[in-house]
Amino acid sequence: MPHNVGFVSTRFAGTDGVSLESAKWAEVLWEDRHISFWYAGSLDRAPDISMCIPEAHFGHPENVWINHQLWGRTRRCPEVSRRIHDLSEYLKTTLYEYRKRFDLDLLIVQNALTIPMHIPLGIALTEFLLETRMPAIAHHHDFYWERDRFQISAVDDYLEMAFPPRIPHLQHVVINQTGRERLAWRKGLPCLLIPNVFDFDIPPEPVDDYAADLRREIGLTDEDRMILQPTRVVPRKGIEHAISLLRRLRDPRCKLVISHDSGDEGQDYLEQLVELAQDEGVELRLIADRIADRRQLDARGRKMYVLEDLYPHADIVTFPSLYEGFGNALLEAIYFRRPVIVNRYSVFIRDIEPKGFRLPTMDGFVSRRLIEETRRILQDEAYREELVDHNYQVARRYYGYPVLRHGLRNLFDNIRHQTE
């Protein structure tokens, strides 16, 4: 039977992995006539199907203050506990209102019970689910034990309680095999593995008139080779390896185009990369000021592009990450039939590489073999097309919408059996 499904997170807006995958889940659920509604502190969904609670955003001033008192220390004062409880109680009342407003049948919690960027929201959700016994699914993208900044805390009690909680009617979903094993080991919880997906049954549209001038707009000539790094500028993305690759290619036509800024993780790494590129003679194009969540004009009247506009113009995509929960940019590049150079991060080795992709790889450093393979891809069009076509078909088999559809139907069958 169709359900009213409530998605909950701190943010459903922009191009972060949680927002993108949640939209895909809603799209597949709609095929079975399930209607999705949205709750978060920042939203780009339609107002008539969403409920925006600013205090639920991880960047809300009250939550920022709380976080400053919790991480990197092992003791919290009574004032911090009181403010956590107060905010949690308020958020719980909004969850009750959310359920009533949209007559919800179940919740899908997107990462808000996984990574503790908003402790009060995690507590509120845990208590709400325990009090209502409402069927729910927790979709876990990256756990706190995978991030260094959450290793020392004054909230071990709340981490044990709510990240994630042990609730009989709450089903758990992870995006990689390591997450499944560690969730079982740390929490004793079973879960279903559903990887990130893309709709490979519908190929991308050709470049349209709006995006046709993108290369010129970001300062590239027709002769330049666009080497795209489609990620934020944070240390775990390993962008220094992309700079090393371009230095060793010794081709002045190759320009490294970085699509995003540093986000909330500071400018130190970006500044280091700019210095490194200057020292290595590699030309960077930092174009975060030209990329937005939707096509529009900026304050200067310049066209703003979306991430999907970049891929068709790229000659090669670099993905030299040191760690990823999955790697959305990898799937996106394969979907747009671009060759991808990958650093063999742990999830890639365990979950993705065995599927049979043909991808130039590195193991933490740029080898002579990788340089030769990259030059061949740039110079040999037939070879390049053979690679990208092969990878598209492999991804269509293992990371297409049918995989997600099958997983969601299993979860909904479990819910039906629980409520009978």
| 243-302 tens-digit pLDDT | 999 999 999 999 999 999 877 667 899 999 999 999 999 999 999 999 988 899 999 999
Q: What angle do CA 231, 235, 239 make, to 5 degrees?
A: 55
Q: What angle do CA 255, 259, 260 make, to 5 degrees?
A: 135
Are residues 40 and 137 both part of a single domain? yes
Are residues 231 and 193 both part of a single domain? no
Mean pLDDT in the chain? 95
Are residues 88 and 229 both part of a single domain? no
Are residues 147 and 220 both part of a single domain? no
Are residues 274 and 382 both part of a single domain? yes
In a domain, 206, yes or no: no
Sign of CA dihedral 238, 240, 244, 249: positive
Containing structural domain, residue 257: 214-398
Are residues 370 and 406 both part of a single domain? no
- Residue 78 pLDDT exceeds 90: yes
Q: Which residue has the higher pLDDT, 361 or 263?
A: 361
- Residue 84 pLDDT exceeds 90: yes
Q: How far apart are CA 319 and CA 162, in angstroms?
A: 33
- Structure confidence at residue 383 (pLDDT): 97
Are residues 15 and 89 both part of a single domain? yes
- Structure confidence at residue 14 (pLDDT): 81
- Structure confidence at residue 141 (pLDDT): 93
- Report the CATH number that the domain containing residue 94 is assigned in CATH: 3.40.50.2000
Please report, as a single letter, which amino acid is at residue 316: I
Are residues 178 and 33 both part of a single domain? yes
**Domains in the chain, number:** 2
Q: How far apart are CA 56 and CA 48, in angstroms?
A: 19
225-229 and 254-258 beta bridge pairing: parallel
Q: Give percent of the chain with pLDDT exceeding 70.
A: 99
Are residues 279 and 218 both part of a single domain? yes
Radius of gyration of the chain measured on its C-alpha atoms: 22
- Structure confidence at residue 420 (pLDDT): 63
- Structure confidence at residue 320 (pLDDT): 96
User: Each residue of 183-217: pLDDT tens digit?
Assistant: 999 999 999 999 999 999 999 999 999 999 999 99
pLDDT band at 23 (very low <50, low <70, confident <90, very high): very high
Give the residue-averaged pLDDT of 348-374: 96
